[in-house]
Amino acid sequence: MTSTNTSPDALTLEMIYTEPSIIGTRPMAMTWSPDGSQLAFLWNDAGHTFRDIWVWDRASGATSRRTNLGAGQISGEPKGITELAWLAGGRLAFALDGEILVVAADGAVTPFTTGAHDACALAAPPDGSKLAFIAGGALLQVGETGGTPTRLVGSSAFVTVESFQWATAGDRIVFVEADDTNTRKIEIAYDARGEARRDRFTRSFPGDLITRRRVGVVSAAGGEALWFDRPDAEDAIWDYGISRDGSTVFVDSSDLSIKNHTVFTFDTHSAERTVFYAFHDPIKIRPDWQVAFAPDDKGLLLLTDRDGFNHLYLIPAAGAEPEAITEGEWEIANFALDRANGEIYFTANIAHPAQRHVYKVALDGGDVTQITQAPGIHVPAYAPGFDLLADIFSDDMTPAEIFVQPLVEDAEPRQITNSPLPAFAKRRWAEVRYVPFKSSVDGAELMARVMVPHGFEPHGGHPMIVGSVYSDGLLNQWGGRAAHPSWGIDQFLVSRGFVVVSPEIRGSFGRGREWNRPMLHSYGTQDIEDIADCVKTLTGLGYADPERVGIWGSSYGGLMTLMSLFKKPGFYAAGVAGAPATNVWHAYPEQEWIMGPTHGADYPQRYKDQSALFHTAGLEDALMIIHGTRDEVVLYADTMAVVERLTAQRKWFELVTLPGTGHAWANQDRTLTRFAYGKLARFFERELKG
């Protein structure tokens, strides 16, 4: 879609979604060398999608490209190098198109393994003396000189190694095996590229048998694995690890509903199982747990919201009462332990609900020290000695960059990447504001991320688009919730005079257990009330004309879009639902966290209440549905069921079908992104301005 706006802020989708990207290429995969002298990461300094290996050197302070395999790769959207791991001698192993290669300190690239394809999850022990990886679902290991790898744990058609970790000594590997033998297999038939096609997927539904998982440990030299069995292999595994002395493995687990949380420990010689910690929470809807061994390898550190907010606890022994390390009406997202100094570093939203800063606290609690200062989102990677912090930082006006700083209070960060093209700085991008609002249901505090055009005046006449709606959307970073490339459509719509809003909704991180309680069994109910309260607040403040408000979202966001239109006719003028989850009977079983189990006195009515398929009669406003035909996450067949109901009920709507496209319809390629977002933009232009 080409804009006819000739203002200095005018944008086109062709300008936004092209290569090289005006916002540059996000750096990723920050990895410190074992001695902390160098930081490797994947990046492209010219805004292309092909990422090479770059290295920042502590001694010289210089950043240099270690590989140059992306030279000339400026079209076709190749992703380039996807993973890397440090080996002995300053070398880096990496994966490119599923093959493993190694680059020396002088930049020479050579093949590293033979006979291993589709390699992923590269990892080396601290001394870099060997490399483990997953290929074809099996766990393999190769020595530091490369060659033919040793198969440590095999695989079959439906039994694969899902993840693994090295023991500190580098002599053993603890891993998770996933068994989908009894998991439902589905076929999706679709037409694409002039042919009738049929693809098979492993895909369970609520009430089905699901993936069975078990943890094992195996010698790096090979041999039989020792297995650590839990009472129910279908229970989820959220975290696991092996003690530094190698004697104990913990497994952080819960039932499917996540209402029963258990941390087991296992003796690595006998496989004897101990229930180290157990807690029942009947209103739990988010599995934000993390576990680590305490410095003495005896106790465990636990991140949990058992007392209302995600905080750190020390459990000194099996069955002991957890001892709080942090407390307050804020939440911790993740943590890392500095064993040598008895300190814990963590990211949290203490400063602002939309921000994530790095903090530290002593192992025995006490004052919390803020390390990062710039408002925004900080994603840390700590040097092995915990003296330096590498930080992928972004805020509402700044695409992601890497900064390095000492791990002390008020340290000055040093920027080591510069990603956007020169044209980025020459444009005026949308202003971003944060506006608090309250729930009309229970009075809870919420907040909206609001993007407005330059020179905006709250006179009540602007058209407004709420979306893309989703949980965890309140983020002070470029593009807000960055799971999809919606930063571009947001900026385009603002350049066209729309106010664009991302409201905080229940089910999100940061506000605590009781704040999230109303979302239990409430898909399409509490969430859409939060969105509506946001709209009422903003229109009341003059941000928009209440007669010209649209809403859009994809997947779960599509569910909320449809439910908002179906259950609140006349409140929104128009909505766009991308890959909408319309039938919770076809959700993943894990969504039982919120929608509840497939039994009980209120079942099946509870599922009908949360399924947009059964609320279509309420549609009175303009609707567009965008969906790909090869979507195994949210079935295209479910959209067809909605279409059939709407047709029978003589409802008007528009359907945009994307042949052969999967669930991430906005991420498949730039041509499709421009087309689909162009359809969305034209729809809102017509319905909210026309």
pLDDT one-digit tens code per residue, 132-150: 999 999 999 999 999 999 9
* Claim to verify: residue 612 and residue 470 sit in the same structural domain: yes
* Claim to verify: residue 493 and residue 621 sit in the same structural domain: yes
Amino acid at 238: W
**Average per-residue pLDDT in the chain?**
96
Q: Are 83 and 121 in contact (CB under 8 A)?
A: yes
CA–CA gap between residue 66 and residue 79 (Å, rounded): 17
Considering 324, 359, 382, which residue would you say is the last residue of a domain?
Answer: 324
What is the pLDDT at residue 314?
A: 98
- Residue 455 domain flag: yes
- Residue 6 domain flag: no
Span 406-430, average pLDDT: 95
Q: How many helices (H) and strands (E) does the chain have?
A: 10, 42
- Residue 40 domain flag: no
What is the pLDDT at residue 77?
A: 64
257/116: higher pLDDT: 257
Of the listed ranges 5-9, 178-182, 344-348, 392-396, the least confidently predicted one is 5-9
Confidence band of 79 (pLDDT split at 50, 70, 90): confident
CA–CA gap between residue 96 and residue 79 (Å, rounded): 9
Which residue pairs, CB below 8 angstroms and at least 24 apart, start in 141-148? Answer: 141/173, 141/220, 141/222, 142/112, 142/113, 142/116, 144/87, 144/88, 144/89, 146/102, 146/111, 146/112, 146/113, 147/113, 147/114, 148/113, 148/114, 148/115
Q: Is the pLDDT of residue 250 over 90?
A: yes
Q: Which class for 169: exposed (0-12), middle (13-18), buried (19 or more C-beta within 10 A)?
A: middle
* pLDDT (tens digit per residue) in 473-498: 999 999 998 878 999 999 999 999 99
Confidence band of 75 (pLDDT split at 50, 70, 90): low
- Residue 273 domain flag: yes
Percent of the chain with pLDDT over 90: 94
Q: Is the pLDDT of residue 74 over 80?
A: no
Q: Is the pLDDT of residue 6 over 50?
A: no
For 491-508, b where at least 16 C-beta lie within 10 A, e where not — what string?
bbbbbbbbbbbbbbbbbb
**Domain membership of residue 304 as a residue range:** 245-324
Q: Is the pLDDT of residue 156 over 60?
A: yes
Assign residue 445 the CATH number of its domain: 3.40.50.1820
CA–CA gap between residue 186 and residue 596 (Å, rounded): 23
* Claim to verify: residue 314 and residue 455 sit in the same structural domain: no
E-assigned strand segments in 397-528: 398-406, 414-415, 431-438, 445-452, 464-466, 499-503
* pLDDT (tens digit per residue) in 290-312: 999 999 898 999 999 999 999 99
Q: Are 558 and 580 in contact (CB under 8 A)?
A: yes
Question: What are the C-alpha distances in Å from 525 to residues 34, 615, 653?
Answer: 50, 12, 23
Q: Are 36 and 56 in contact (CB under 8 A)?
A: no
Picking from 567, 557, 584, 553, the residue whose alpha carbon sits closest to that of residue 525 is 567
Q: Are 314 and 322 in contact (CB under 8 A)?
A: yes
Our count of domains for the chain comes to: 2
Cα angle 315, 318, 322 (rounded to 5 degrees) comes to 25
CA–CA gap between residue 390 and residue 414 (Å, rounded): 9
CA–CA gap between residue 234 and residue 37 (Å, rounded): 43
Confidence band of 65 (pLDDT split at 50, 70, 90): very high
Secondary structure (3-state) at 108? coil
Q: Is the pLDDT of residue 632 over 80?
A: yes
CA–CA gap between residue 621 and residue 610 (Å, rounded): 20
What is the pLDDT at residue 72?
A: 77
Q: Are 401 and 379 in contact (CB under 8 A)?
A: no
Give bridge partners of residue 190 from the DSSP assignment: 197
Q: Is the pLDDT of residue 237 over 50?
A: yes
Picking from 25, 48, 3, the residue whose alpha carbon sits closest to that of residue 489 is 3
Q: Are 234 and 590 in contact (CB under 8 A)?
A: no
Confidence band of 3 (pLDDT split at 50, 70, 90): very low
Confidence band of 116 (pLDDT split at 50, 70, 90): confident
Q: Is the pLDDT of residue 200 over 70?
A: yes
CA–CA gap between residue 558 and residue 576 (Å, rounded): 8
Span 580-599, average pLDDT: 97
Q: Report residue 600: phi and psi, to 5°.
A: 115, 165
60 token code pair: 């010289």
- Residue 516 domain flag: yes
Span 538-547, average pLDDT: 98
Cα angle 673, 678, 684 (rounded to 5 degrees) comes to 135
Q: State whether the Cα torsion 62-68-74-80 is positive or negative.
A: negative
What is the pLDDT at residue 119?
A: 96
Confidence band of 630 (pLDDT split at 50, 70, 90): very high
597 token code pair: 């189990």
Q: Is the pLDDT of residue 572 over 70?
A: yes
E-assigned strand segments in 413-555: 414-415, 431-438, 445-452, 464-466, 499-503, 549-554
- Residue 131 domain flag: no
Question: What are the C-alpha distances in Å from 208 to residues 61, 183, 408, 587?
Answer: 55, 7, 50, 11
- Residue 102 domain flag: no
CA torsion angle 266 270 271 274 (round to 10): -40
Instruction: Please state whether the peptide bond connecting residue 604 to the residue before it is cis, i.e. omega within 30 degrees of 0.
Output: yes
- Residue 532 domain flag: yes
Considering 324, 343, 364, which residue would you say is the last residue of a domain?
Answer: 324
What is the pLDDT at residue 2?
A: 44
* Claim to verify: residue 300 and residue 448 sit in the same structural domain: no
CA–CA gap between residue 311 and residue 305 (Å, rounded): 6
Span 188-201, average pLDDT: 96
What is the pLDDT at residue 7?
A: 58
Q: Which class for 373: exposed (0-12), middle (13-18), buried (19 or more C-beta within 10 A)?
A: middle
Q: Is the pLDDT of residue 5 over 60?
A: no
Considering 308, 324, 340, which residue would you say is the last residue of a domain?
Answer: 324
Intra-chain end-to-end CA distance of the chain, in Å: 17
* Claim to verify: residue 445 and residue 558 sit in the same structural domain: yes
